[in-house]
Amino acid sequence: MPVLVSEAIVLHAFDYLESSRIVRLVTRDAGMRSALAKGARKSRRRFGSGLDLFAQGTAQLYTKVGRELDTLSGFEDVRTRTDLAADLSRFTGAETIAEIALRFGDDGADAELFDAIAGAFDALETSPPDDAREATLAGAWSIVGALGFGPSLTECVECGNALGADDSAVFNHAAGGALCARCAALSSGGRTLPAAARLTLDAWTTGGRVDSLSDSDARAHQRLLREFLSYHLHDGRALRAYDLWESAAWTAA
């Protein structure tokens, strides 16, 4: 069987039979992969802490055409990101990032997406707990941007006219971003987006960071992101990790 050696991040893991684990990985060179780690629960010699959630390292995968489950033979040079599990706000944020990546990621090399996911985890791990919600929002929108369906925010998505820094706009999921006043009047649906919120979104989708938001502003951004993701999902399944993160009482100011 061909061997795939690639940098990888563990996005999901669960026990299988008495001694093994199945993991869902995002890899730099082959996109999303599912793999069986035989005997991983009996001995950590081959995998160490590499099967912990959000760990990043070099995976050795035995692949076979037509088979959905690879065999993970090793995971080396591991960065564990254990601090993500030390705080509940960071952990639920990381689970949300992983869920978004798994639901929208695909097979095939995508270095930009891999870097966006890794960057989201890194920023979340180093952020103060009070800023974990903003770090999660920034990471999620950077992943959306890397996936190629980031919304238009600095110019009208319909007519292409530039939006002023102080201009509010209507954000329309179906149109793909912000609408100027004239185009919004000709369109149905959408949510009014104040100028500050629009510029915040623009910073996030291009990998930038913003100062801490008020609780009401942060929750408004959570609702907008949920609506945007739900519009682009077509399988009808709920975003369970996202729902938990959005409803978390500990994120309130």
Q: Which helix (H) or strand (E) holds 214?
A: none
pTM of the prediction?
A: 0.92
**CA dihedral sign of residues 84, 88, 91, 93:** negative
According to DSSP, the residues that pair with 36 across neighbouring strands are: 22, 71
Rounded to whole angstroms, the Cα distance separating 129 from 207 reads 20
Closest to 81 in 3D by CA, of 104, 102, 98, 100: 98
What structural domains and CATH numbers belong to the chain?
3-80 (2.40.50.140), 86-150+192-251 (1.20.1440.120)
The single-letter DSSP state of residue 50 is T
For the chain, give the mean pLDDT.
Answer: 91
Residue 185, Cβ density class (10 Å: 0-12 exposed, 13-18 middle, ≥19 buried): exposed
Residue 83 scores a pLDDT above 80 = yes
Closest to 135 in 3D by CA, of 35, 212, 227: 212
Residue 49 scores a pLDDT above 70 = no
pLDDT band, residue 234 (cuts 50/70/90)? confident
Per-residue confidence (pLDDT) for residue 65, from 0 to 100: 82
Residue 136 scores a pLDDT above 90 = yes
Per-residue confidence (pLDDT) for residue 253, from 0 to 100: 43
